[in-house]
Chains A and B, each alone.
Chain A
Amino acid sequence: MTRTVVEARNLTVSRGQTPVLSDISFEVQEGEVFALLGGNGAGKSTSLLTFLGLLEPTSGEALVFGKSVQNDIASVRGKIAYLPEAATLYPHLSAYENVDYFLSLAGIGRSRADVEEVFDRVSLQQEARDQHMERYSKGMRQKTAIALALLRETPILFLDEPTSGLDPVAIDEFNRLVTNLAKAGTTIVMVTHDVYGACQVAHKIALLRRGTLVGSFEAKNGERIDTETVHAAFAERAVA
């Protein structure tokens, strides 16, 4: 029996007078990968920020494990590891130091061996790990941020354009990683405009256009969601 981990219930979020999300509802079950697909300005990142308590809903509710985010922000944040788009960690610190600092912020301690193991999983080059991140490529920075999210070992992962800046090999590795995490029970909510990438890993996909859900797809019988179908719907409804 699966349980609902993340739920948007008639969620509306406005910035000033402008609605960014309008009355959207969805549910994500434990161990699912849920992808919110949409073009620029569709409200994808706003959704994640609302679940992190960084934006307040105008109406409706954002629920995590059945609890309203607004009522228990710290507890909810403790259950979610967040990978922001174009994650910029501190350039004057090394990957180790960045990870150590952010984990400490979350009140988590990890051994150097644990960190090494996760750096290996995300294929961050050994020789780069002690260098200041100002020398890192965008892909290396993204891998470090992914490693940080994994090291939190939270039941939920929020990923904002997670494959941005990664090369094709790294994207494949990342997709495998996400699939394995989901199999291990981690619930993953990702926002992306990469239709192909989303179809590779997601159990559910929702199309978002100007803050409104305009379509949804679900993998059936253990098969992947059909890329062609989603792509057609995306082109027709999400970016029209």
Chain B
Amino acid sequence: MTATAVFSRELRFFLKQPFAIWLIIVATGLSTFSVWSGLTEVDRQSATIERLLVADAKDRAAAIEKESDFGGAAYYSFHLTFDPPSALSFAALGERDVFPWKHRIRMLALEGQIYESDAANAELAQSGQFDFAFFLSVLTPLFLIILLHDQRASEKVAGRHDLLVATAGYGQNLWRSRTIVRVSLLGVGLFLPFLVGALMSGVDTQLIALVFLVVFAQILFWTFLCLWASARPFSGPAIASGLLAFWVLTTFVMPAASDAIVERAIPAPEGGDIILAQREKVNDAWDLRKEATMEPFVAQHPEWADDAKIERPFEWKWYYAFQQVGDQAVAAMSNDRRVAVSRRNEMAGWFAFLSPSALTQRSLSHLANTDVGSALTYQHRVRNFHAELRSFYYPLLFKNAAYRAEAFESLPEYDPAMGSDR
């Protein structure tokens, strides 16, 4: 009998089982919803960026026109920085739930501006978005367990097992062909909505193929696990219970435990602590002698040593110098945090090999550039851009340049692709 004939027989057989068909329909529906949900979120993020870019330019133009010195213009000018969603991010929103993907920054101390929105999505950090990565990593195993756990046990209970095996010649061929049909239909049901979403979003073909491999690997793992379990001499409910226990363990318990272990093993300064330390430094500067600010500033920027004398009670160059000194004061903490986050991510990556769900989510996030690495790259771009702003304003402030709107023609503009090498 040809493989096509076997497949066709089992397909016809499968299509006469209302419960199984409903299961595939529900899986397809959930996959479609997850893709739609991801696309909607990405559209929302893109629209937010577009809207803020326009509003940002308008506000900045108004500030430049209204102000009469460069210090004031810098103070009232906001600059939108953002990490635009990749074409594939609809499928795996990943760390975009946890790490901020946009900051409106000013010439003030930067570290506080970076970390002040760190805890904005605390709820989402717990549950995550219902995106394709969530559906694939968390819910797909459940569908596979339901479809495959009692292939043999249910036939034994119904009294058909021996007849089926005796008629089929090799029982393995029967279970294999049934498994292929069920898993293929489920695979098509969950991959097709992704494919439509990917084509709509203009995802690169190579990337689609890589996602397919991730989907394939996840399905393959759970299929083999279910087949192995269903071949054990236990009842269907006992097999299902075992598989569900494994699912809970690897999908929820293991990732939670590994997070706890990783956080304990690699301590990191909290974003809140960095903000607090920086604000204290900045606020204290108002009460200190001007030299107490300018000396550490000049130590870092000797090029302004000749222009660092402050003669009046308030000068913008002094104001921005103590903002920068605030950044300098927490630079080590901030660097420690970045290094720790990076190391935690690396260690979590190793732990993910104990959890197929975590591994699937991480793989998709990596492909979609929505992982921790991408979030850190975005932070790096923000720091670079802020440094450019300082490079633009400092000569104007320290040399007491006469205010003129034309100077802003060379005002740096944020480029989301800048420094994209991690």
Contacts and interface: CB of A to CB of B under 8 A. Distances in A.
Contacts of B313: none
Interface string B160-194: 10111111111000100000000000000000000
A107 B160 CA distance: 18
B234 to A, nearest CB: 16
A206 interface: no
B322 to A, nearest CB: 79
Contact of A104 (B9, B160, B166): B9
A82 B16 contact: no
A49 interface: yes
A56 interface: no
B16 A84 contact: no
Given A88-B158, A89-B160, A90-B160, A82 B167 contact: yes
A52 B170 contact: no
A78 interface: yes
A84 B162 contact: yes
A80 interface: yes
Interface in B1-40: 1, 5, 9, 13, 16-18
A53 to B, nearest CB: 8
A77 B160 contact: no
Contact of A97 (B16, B165, B166, B170): B16
Contacts of B158: 88
- The bracket for how many chain A residues form the interface is 20 to 34
A54 B166 contact: yes
Contacts of B9: 101, 104-105
A62 B6 CA distance: 30
Nearest to A85: B159
A158 B359 CA distance: 51
Interface in A33-72: 49, 52-54
A73 B170 contact: yes
A105 B16 contact: no
Contact of A74 (B1, B13, B18, B169): B169
Contacts of B5: 104
Contact of B163 (A53, A74, A82, A92): A82
Given A88-B158, A92-B17, A105-B174, A77 B163 contact: no
A92 B15 CA distance: 11
Interface string A94-124: 0001000110111100000000000000000
Contacts of B159: 84, 86-88
Contact of B164 (A105, A107, A145): A105
A74 B166 contact: no
A74 B170 contact: yes
B3 to A, nearest CB: 13
A92 B164 contact: no
A222 B18 CA distance: 53
A86 B157 CA distance: 12
Given A92-B17, A105-B174, A107-B1, A84 B165 contact: no
Nearest to A55: B162
Given A92-B16, A93-B16, A105 B162 contact: no
Contact of B13 (A53, A77, A101, A106): A101
Closest 8 CB pairs of A and B: A74-B169, A88-B159, A82-B166, A52-B166, A107-B1, A105-B168, A104-B9, A105-B167
9 contacts: A77-B167, A77-B168, A77-B169, A82-B167, A87-B163, A104-B1, A105-B9, A105-B174, A107-B169
